[in-house]
Amino acid sequence: MKPLLMTSLASLALASCGLSAQAATRAAPTPAEAKAFITKAEADLAKANIYAAKASWVRATYITEDTQWLEAKAGAEQNEMATRLAKQAARYNSVKVDAVTRRKLDLLKRSLVLPAPDRAGAADALATIASRLDSTYSTGKFSYNGKTLTLNDAEDILATSRDPAVTKAVWEGWRTISPPMRKDYAELISMANEGSRSLGYKDTGALWRSGYDMNPDAFAKETDRLWTQVQPFYKNLHCYVRARLNEKYGDLIQPRTGPIRADLLGNMWAQEWGHIYDVVAPKTQASSYNLDHLLVSHGYDPIKMVKTGEGFYSSIGMPPLPQTFWERSQITRPRDREVVCHASAWDLDDRSDIRIKMCTQVGAEDFVTIHHELGHNYYQRAYQDQPFLFKSGANDGFHEAIGDFAALSALTPTYLKQIGLIDTVPGDEEDIPFLLKTAMDKIAFLPFGLLVDKWRWQVFSGEIQPDQYNDAWWALVKQYQGLTPPSARPANAFDPGAKYHVPGNTPYMRYFLARIYQFQFHRAACQQAGWTGPLHRCSIYGNEKIGKKFNTMLEMGQSKPWPDALEAFTGQRQTDASALTDYFKPLDAWLTEQNKGEVCGW
């Protein structure tokens, strides 16, 4: 984890108008000076990153006023240094340097998530606001039925309750924690935009979009292209789920046409719908096992779940996690203090001090999350020998996709038999239940993964003003997800702030891309393994040959443009969602049959 720094970067030529007349008359810098500058910059940033990472870890695992202050101080110092170095790198825009130095200079100029304005005290102020927003979210609680509920409590209720009055109350209750963030968030946007403009970007959204080895506007069009590949399947799933909800709740709660009521989908943000599988399960086809029940009945606890995740990566030839991982990770929620429970993977020294931070609960959801988070850790360790500015994913979507790729194998009944959770792999008759369960999370997520940053890009550009934050959010939710809130939202609502990545200032398009890349990786791996069966039954568990080739891609880090990394493993140079549609093709055909007579869309 690199606090306040992008985990993926892209090219930008900074405007020369920021240089003074005196600087313009100086002797042109030499290639040797450029190389010396970037060498020192990397050393300084590496040192600052370790300090900031440790301060962030302490705050995330022990939230107090003091730890927030420490994180803000470390983050401000790191941000100030990175901003200063990014501006200094512009001096070498026209210098003819070797390809490695040029890439490092370009990455340095795009390394910030929230660049601070170039004025005294601005870096401190920005870091303080960012830390306060994160902590406000992480310590958020609300009252329901005389009890004080955390987000974990609320998520459990939404996942299990089938009483629409209860889901509505809990859904609305969690969103009472975010209105106080709105003023801070607007101020943070203004400061970050000021900092981005000082680096030559029109706004922070353009800075974020520049991290994909292409023009920012071209990247925005690329996300639209990918959405057109998967949108028809999402609409098919939406149509089927809406009909099942209508059958359960009736027209007054969930009409047969139009948007779906967001609180009925089993997830606080309706980004994944797997928890309501019991409502939408095929009437004539059933699954012979339940992963939640299997984990409990086989005596799994949080540590055993993490050990199992480690075992997957070891089976494809990757070395075991270091002992410090087990000593220093937060695997379960402490009872004696406030912590950030949102799952994350950390690299605290850019070498081997890798950790996860979770509040793990025994169940299928966290079983998958563990495989995902460990993917970050194995990626971090794979590129540890790269220079500092190359210690990141080929792009941030790659970093998210690595663990999800592993989880595609981990979800299969093939893998569950390989690790002894089931005795027999079910036959073809269980394909539709399996694919439907998987799609309820993987496919349902796609529009949400897209809209979070679509909203932020418009916020950063000024197209959405602070008094329009909530209305614009729900307009995009309806446009992309086809959802509606359970009731009219209050005038002071700031519902985007009820999703961690907004107050946590984590770019979100990476998760949309990861949903595409993971299937692209999975199809390539299964083809290389000689798998001839259905793609959704393929597990690469135990295949060291695939693991070796995969790790070769991981070791590249960000040293090459992401198409080079993609080609190294898949043979393709373009992001391609056809692997996802290949994986779910039997389900899409089945959904089309089920939806005959329905008025799909919203």
- Number of residues in the chain: 602
- Give me the amino acid identity at 428: D
**Spatial CB neighbours of 412, under 8 Å, sequence gap ≥ 6:** 536, 537, 538, 539
- Give me the amino acid identity at 503: P
Closest CA to 273 of 304, 232, 314, 244: 244
How far, in Å, CA of 513 to CA of 209, rounded? 13
- Give me the amino acid identity at 288: S
DSSP codes, 206-258: HHHHGGGSS-HHHHHHHHHHHHHHHHHHHHHHHHHHHHHHHHHH-TTTS-SSS
Residue 222 a catalytic site member: no
Bridge partners of 553, per DSSP, are none
Q: Compute φ and ψ for 356, nearest 5 degrees.
A: -120, 155
Helical packing angle, 122-138 and 31-61, nearest 10°: 40
How far, in Å, CA of 254 to CA of 509, rounded? 30
Helical H segments across 430-543, by residue range: 431-461, 469-476, 509-528
- Give me the amino acid identity at 112: L
Choice among 376, 501, 522, 536 that is catalytic: 501
Choice among 373, 399, 400, 522 that is catalytic: 373
How far, in Å, CA of 380 to CA of 351, rounded? 8
Residue in the structure block whose two tokens are 């889901």: 167
What are the tokens at 207? 């800075």
- Give me the amino acid identity at 449: G
Closest CA to 161 of 271, 4, 64, 275: 275
Helical packing angle, 364-382 and 302-315, nearest 10°: 50
Residue 42 a catalytic site member: no
- Report the alpha-carbon angle 355-361-365, nearest 5: 90
How far, in Å, CA of 41 to CA of 47, rounded? 10
Closest CA to 193 of 280, 140, 115: 115
Residues classed as catalytic: 373, 501
